[in-house]
Amino acid sequence: MSRKIIVGAAQLGPIAREETRRSVVARLVELMREAKTRGCHFIVYPELALTTFFPRWYFPTPAEVDFWFEREMPGPETQALFDEAKRLEMGFYLGYAEIAEESDGTHHYNTAIMVSAKGDIVGKYRKVHLPGHREYEPWRAFQHLEKRYFECGNLGFPAYRAQVGGHNGIFGMALCNDRRWPETHRVLGLQGVEMSFIGYNTPIHYPQVPEHDHLQAFHNLLPMQAGAYQNGMWIVGVAKAGKEENCDLLGQSCIIAPTGEVVAMCSTIGDELATASCDLDRCKEIKDNVFNFALHREPQYYRLIAETKGAVVPR
């Protein structure tokens, strides 16, 4: 018995500030067509995959901020991607900036969706861990204003049952900074997730602690490999990479097995597809054994994780 699905990690190279969504969607479609020729059933794009990483700039007016957001999905510029997905029978994960009209007003989220091979949205995630700062900070080489432009996601970490490549599976999503937090992977793991998709934009320069710049690649793989192994799930991490508006972004898009092993990785920092055949049944090797949650977890001793935000140090 196996449930093998072929998945593509569709890394994007830089998106210039002036590049139109139409042009970016054409790049996404190109990668989707390549994925089809390589037998993929599902393709994973990065975080904020339709535009440049706009939180690196301070925009004083709401109109300038809202320019980077989507009010509908699919919308006029993204419909072509959904149409192509349907034509090619290819599911996908896509990150984008979302303006949502909700019962209590208008909200801004850093969002990802899972779309079926029929072109239907079957899952949505809104980024929970927002890095960066709220106000303009002139000492930085570039801004990272996610805390200003986005609200904390209000969906938690939902898991979705979906069909990919003819197989039923349980899927989850996260976005960029989320991948560094063990809570992200564990909450997905506790819902039986077998594969999670994580798009990211990671500057190589970390302004607060620049002596860690050379560790960006290590700090990318370390928590995703641990998250995959400790929860017995596949993880597909996908970058927007390369020199984007003078900011170097990490590549290293990869597919990680439930054993924690990297089974495919991009080798450039441009538009590139890395693919792997992923057997969802391999999750059992971990989920039924070393990390058999029902048998081995002792949640009565983990209460602090959910009950405190900051550390509670001993007196």
Catalytic residues: 47, 127, 176
How many angstroms separate the CA atoms of 257 and 196, rounded?
11
Residue from the set 11, 196, 202, 253 that interacts with ligand CDT by CB under 6 A: 202
Pairing of strands 242-244, 247-249: antiparallel
Per CB under 6 A, 144 contacts ligand CDT: yes
Q: What residues numbered 112-131 form the site for ligand CDT, per CB under 6 A? A: 131
CB nearer to ligand CDT: give 35 or 238. Answer: 238
Residue 48 beta carbon to ligand CDT: minimum distance, rounded to whole angstroms = 8
Stretch that binds ligand CDT, among 101-109, 155-163, 196-204, 254-262 (CB under 6 A): 196-204
Per CB under 6 A, 182 contacts ligand CDT: no
Per CB under 6 A, 180 contacts ligand CDT: yes
Residue from the set 13, 46, 123, 132 that interacts with ligand CDT by CB under 6 A: 132
Residue 177 beta carbon to ligand CDT: minimum distance, rounded to whole angstroms = 3
Residue 134 neighbours by CB under 8 Å, 6+ apart: 145, 147, 148
Backbone angles phi, psi at 100, to 5 degrees: -115, 130
Backbone angles phi, psi at 147, to 5 degrees: -65, -25
Q: What residues numbered 10-69 form the site for ligand CDT, per CB under 6 A? A: 47
Question: What stretches of 241-300 adopt beta strand conformation (E)?
Answer: 242-244, 247-249, 254-256, 262-265, 272-279
Per CB under 6 A, 247 contacts ligand CDT: no
How many angstroms separate the CA atoms of 129 and 152, rounded?
7
- CB atoms under 10 Å from CB of 315, counted, come to 3
Pairing of strands 121-126, 262-265: unpaired
Angle of the 182-189 helix axis to the 216-231 helix axis, nearest 10: 20
Residue 101 neighbours by CB under 8 Å, 6+ apart: none
Residue from the set 51, 143, 184, 201 that interacts with ligand CDT by CB under 6 A: 201
Residue 285 beta carbon to ligand CDT: minimum distance, rounded to whole angstroms = 29
Instruction: Point out which residues pair with 42 in neighbouring strands.
Output: 7, 91
Contact 196, 172 (CB under 8 A): yes
How far does CA 162 lie from the centroid of its chain? 18
CB nearer to ligand CDT: give 116 or 177. Answer: 177
Q: Tell me how many residues contact ligand CDT (CB under 6 A).
A: 11
Residue 286 beta carbon to ligand CDT: minimum distance, rounded to whole angstroms = 25
Residue 131 beta carbon to ligand CDT: minimum distance, rounded to whole angstroms = 4
How many angstroms separate the CA atoms of 99 and 175, rounded?
17
CB nearer to ligand CDT: give 92 or 200. Answer: 200
Stretch that binds ligand CDT, among 95-103, 158-166, 176-184, 234-242 (CB under 6 A): 176-184
Contact 76, 269 (CB under 8 A): no
Residue 120 beta carbon to ligand CDT: minimum distance, rounded to whole angstroms = 27
Residue from the set 200, 225, 237, 273 that interacts with ligand CDT by CB under 6 A: 200
- Sites of contact with ligand CDT (CB under 6 A): 47, 131-132, 144, 176-177, 180, 200-203
